[in-house]
A = this chain, B = another copy of it.
Amino acid sequence: MATQRILDFLATRRPDGPCLVVDLDIVEDNFNAFRKALPDSAIFYAVKANPAPEVLRLLASLGSNFDCASVAEIEMALEAGATAKRISYGNTIKKERDIARAHALGVSLFAVDCVEEVEKVARAAPGARVFCRVLTDGEGAEWPLSRKFGCVPTMAIDVLMQANALGLTATGVSFHVGSQQTDTEAWDAAIADAKYVFEALADKGIVLTLVNMGGGFPTRYLKDVPAASAYGQAIFASLSKHFGNRLPETIIEPGRGMVGDAGVIKAEVVLVSKKSDEDANRWVYLDIGKFGGLAETMDEAIRYPIVTQHDGERTEPCVIAGPTCDSADVLYERTPYPLPISLTVGDEVLIEGTGAYTTTYASVAFNGIEPLRAYVI
């Protein structure tokens, strides 16, 4: 939701064009909520969700660790004050020369999900710690989870044995239950898989110590979502159920859950029209769309709350579209969005819950439109 600080900023600064405003107080609240919900888990913030320097500096100062997807993100985390020991290179898809650069920067924790990646890490970062990502089904997640990352648990056993054979430290298992995961029980099956891999490796004399439980923690969009504490309780119960009183070290990687609700995009209504006199829906065109930062509206996956100055007045179902000359740049059409009938050209709207996965997704210049500006306050 738009905090008073964000509203005051917008009222005072009156920035022209669409922009994101992020309130650091909310980020700090979210960090503290995660720390309280899972006090024994290390927090590795998923930098890709929002790599704004101010966000990274705040989280570094609060003691966060960082889950990085690329060398550029590793450099940003270091720049923000994190040490290399607090950084995980969490992308399972890495060029060997990038692994070498990360290694040279001191990073020693790497994600893998196949023997081929283990071989690269062994060559480029000898002695590093690796965790193997296992596949999950992503049920309950609102952002589609594909089979892109991870392997089946039986293959993870081979991957970690190979890591061990090549002189790496086979340190554990990771998984991801799918982004915007609203089922607090979604972690249970994957934790069971982790335990299975732990036991299989123990039989081979290899002691795993780490379960990286990934992200997936949601932001509140239009529907209520469970609080961090509910996730903490469910996850802790699963860990106890499967690992008994020999709990492993654990990591969580919140991204959306850390910054999503800390940001609000201010946008402008550029046009309101109908396609024919009989059209059941009005078309509302904003100055931001799928290529300007709202990429997660792809297939209408994420449905953002939109606040207008006319809320409370009578509404009409609207198709909402972006400003580009691209016919695919439509945000909500399959399920039209109710907006006040009095909404008109030139009105400002606030798109809430946009602190994560917006600025960096914005296209560099599609239709000559500049990338989404961001203010972190």
Contact = CB atoms under 8 A, between A and B. Distances in A.
Interface of A: 46-48, 51, 68-73, 76, 90-96, 113-117, 120, 135, 138, 143-152, 154-155, 178-179, 268, 270-277, 283, 285, 287, 291, 295, 298, 319, 321, 323-330, 333, 345-346, 359-371
Contacts of A274: 114, 151, 155
Nearest to A93: B285
The prevalent SS among residues of A at the interface is loop
Given A271-B114, A327-B146, A276 B155 contact: yes
Nearest to A329: B148
27 contacts: A68-B368, A69-B324, A69-B325, A70-B367, A72-B370, A91-B325, A93-B285, A93-B321, A93-B323, A95-B287, A115-B273, A116-B272, A138-B327, A143-B328, A145-B327, A147-B319, A148-B283, A148-B321, A148-B327, A155-B275, A155-B277, A359-B364, A361-B366, A362-B364, A363-B363, A363-B364, A364-B364
A194 B91 CA distance: 53
Contacts of A365: 51, 72, 360
A91 to B, nearest CB: 5
A154 B275 CA distance: 10
Contacts of A48: 324-326, 366-368
Contacts of A268: 95
A248 to B, nearest CB: 23
Contacts of A364: 359-360, 362-364, 371
B145 A93 contact: no
Contacts of A346: 96
Contacts of A298: 298, 328
A73 B368 CA distance: 5
Given A93-B323, A116-B271, A151-B276, 10 more contacts: A72-B365, A93-B321, A94-B270, A117-B273, A138-B327, A145-B327, A151-B275, A155-B274, A179-B327, A362-B363
Contacts of A47: 368
Contacts of A71: 368
A346 B70 CA distance: 17
A327 B365 CA distance: 24
A328 to B, nearest CB: 6
Contacts of A345: 96, 116, 120
Contacts of A95: 268, 270, 287
A368 B360 CA distance: 8
Contacts of A319: 147
